[in-house]
Amino acid sequence: MNCANGSFADPFTKLCSTICSPDYYAYSPTNYCLQDCQPYFKYFPNQTCIASCPATANISTNLYMDTTTYSCLNVCLPTWYADNITHSCTQICTSPLLADNSTGLCVTRCPSNPDFYGYNGVCYFPCPSSTPALFAENISRTCMMNCPNGSYADSFNWRCVASCSGVQYGYSNATINICVSTCPNSTYGNNYTKTCISVCSNGTFGDNTTKLCLNKCPTGSYADSHIHLCVQSCNGVIPEYADPSTHICVTTCPNIPSLYG
């Protein structure tokens, strides 16, 4: 049956019709009503086969080309994602978009509620296990190996944090920003800032045994206020004496108790 342009041969009614029977779709290249539109896509609102699904300014009303059913869908099938760059359902989002399992969409930024972070084109939580480890970073909403300056990689919760959790201290050098339970050599844990520092602040002293900044040095060591360290013997530039009563290096031994340098 050859129908004029604008009408379509309907195999169900055996008539030329402007609207195909239910479950049939108008295919313009041949003027036939078809049940399968391939390589075109079924457009349900007016029962036609179209070459590409229509896009609108409002993303929430967009339709996406699904190559498993060759239909225009407003929600892609499970494990597929709606890509607003290609206007299709895809299993791998077009870069730089990320696949968001919580919405079934390809997104420019992973959501904060639910809590997801981007890595290798997919939104995850928690970040996937890898070597080296990955940490969730809130500002970029991505998983990263090295946390940005001002934050530290915390392996207790696998996040980049401003302040380390538990009894940990933030340590930074030229290449890493991490949380550590014991500060590296030549640095000491500051319990006020929760960071490792090279010189303890006024009134505290670096102890090489505990690797902490202490208000009072432990027995057997003495607080040297010039270098802010707990030392085994007082040998400063200015002659000082170890005072066992206070665990401090002093320039003059105290009268009470009566001690002499």
What average pLDDT values come out for the chain (261 residues) when binned by 10 residues? Answer: 90 94 94 94 93 77 92 94 94 95 94 93 93 94 95 96 96 95 96 95 93 94 92 82 88 64 44
* Residue 92 CB partners (closer than 8 Å, separation 6+): 99, 121
Residue 139 is classified by DSSP as T
b/e string for 100-124 if b means 16 or more Cβ within 10 A?
beeebbbbeebbeeebbbbbeebbb
- Domain boundaries defined on the chain: 205-261
pLDDT of residue 258: 44
pLDDT of residue 259: 44
pLDDT of residue 121: 95
pLDDT of residue 260: 44
